[in-house]
Amino acid sequence: MRLRWPLLIFSSLLSAFSQAYPHQEVLPEGSRISLVAEKLSENAELDGVHPTEQLFPPASTLKIVTALAAKLELGDNFRFRTKLEASGSDAVIYFVGDPTLQTNDLKSLLTLAKKNGLKRIDGDLWLDNSAFTGYNRAVGWPWDILGVCYSAPASTITLNNNCVQASIYTQKDGGTRVYVPEHQPIRVTSTVETVSKTIKKSRHCDLGLVANPDNNYKLTGCLVEREKPLPLKFAVQDPELYTSHRLAALLKQLNIELSGKIRIGSAPEKQRKLIAMHQSEALPDILEEMLKNSDNLIADTLTKTLGAKFFVQSGSFANGTEAIKQIIFANTGIDIRNARLEDGSGLSRNNRISATKMAEILRYIWKHEDELKLIAIMPKSGESGTLKYRQSMRKLPIKGQLIAKSGSLYGTYNMAGYGLDKNGQPNTIFVQFVSDYFPEKRDDNTPVIAPITHFEQLFYNDIVNFSQAIPKK
């Protein structure tokens, strides 16, 4: 008996190895992979593709799940509504985490309020932030990216995508100069040195960013000399302080006098009167921006909004991700309770879901596309959104033949979506989860195709051929 078990184990491992997808050999040793590739309308799967039940970081493919939950719970008529009300001698702006709210929208809100009689605020102007609670960033967001805009805080009071654009110039004297638009209430200092490529390599020196809580930023390290400025995007660290400064400037510009102060929080309970309201675009337009351009802020504010609506309380990452699980199960029967979700964007390194569950989500969306219209707003390979310039999708036969959502984190390269038939209709669902991908670094400058790009080209080519093959009779 002791002799047979090792033989059985070896036999089972050999069988699993022989059935492995052949192209995964181009990936570095140690990479984990789970693939799905199966027809939508018949019981057929791509040869060699055998998904596991292991949990993987979904990265931004998680936005597909978030989009489905938002469609099911909020509906197409949903809009973020930012209201301005009178409260005794005070005025209150009720923020609801609208990720699309811009300075011009606030200006229009105040202009309408002034037209409706708000020429002076005798008390305070309250910025109500009670719609959300808890942290503005989810568990598992890396500390070293908190200063850049794709990890902007998902806050109740959100303005201008919680993002400020600036630029840094290299100088002949070895220093650098930072430009920030004069109207932006942030401060940036730089100790960055201008160096040659050789010096940068020998000193192992990169451009660094220290983001402080009061919207003050410090750039450190070094930057190779360049003719044109390097564009920068800073995530606003304190959205409430930032918005307060922008509102103060707007009040002055519109000649609306404020006797008291701009305060953050819930105003004292008094009789309220609606003066003006701003509405965002409807949910389908918001979801299209989220899926096409992989907008993290939209995904995470929608997650908190789902938590608020589903549990009838202030929204948070905790109740929002739980709401997503329950909404999906109640409406579709798909059980993702074993998935670990910390946010709705996929930015958290702690998120986990299996490729098979992602495939179930994709299949449900396809079956109900007439009502959901989610496939219609996803990126198309080599043509739109985040897939337009993806190296593995830019050329035929892959270009234009896949509709999918990408997702990448450190060591993770994912894709989830649909292969199209010869008539351009979804015919196949596919999921690519690749994690623990750490290729060997090269010291020379010889051009080389990255292993992940090579793998994707082979896999996507197989998906296209599989989707467009003539069905067997």
Indicate which residues carry an active-site annotation.
Answer: 60, 63, 294
| Phi, psi for 192 (deg, rounded to 5) | -70, 135
Q: How far apart are CA 384 and CA 390, in angstroms?
A: 10
Please, what is the end-to-end C-alpha distance for the chain in angstroms? Answer: 47
| Phi, psi for 315 (deg, rounded to 5) | -80, 150
Sheet holding 163-170, edge to edge: 176-179, 163-170, 230-235
Strand partners, 209: 219
Q: Would you state the structure tokens that stand for residue 189, as one six-digit string?
A: 């200092």
Compute the Cα dihedral for 247, 252, 258, 259 and give only its sign: positive
Type of residue at 91: A
Q: How far apart are CA 415 and CA 59, in angstroms?
A: 9
* Angle, CA of 140, 141 and 147, to the nearest 5°: 160
Q: How far apart are CA 301 and CA 3, in angstroms?
A: 58
Strand partners, 190: 219
H helical segments located in 93-235: 103-115, 197-203
Question: 473 to each of 174, 425, 462, 470, how far by Cα in Å?
Answer: 71, 20, 21, 9
Helix (H) or strand (E) holding 412: strand 412-420
Cis status of the peptide bond prior to 439, with omega within 30 of 0: no
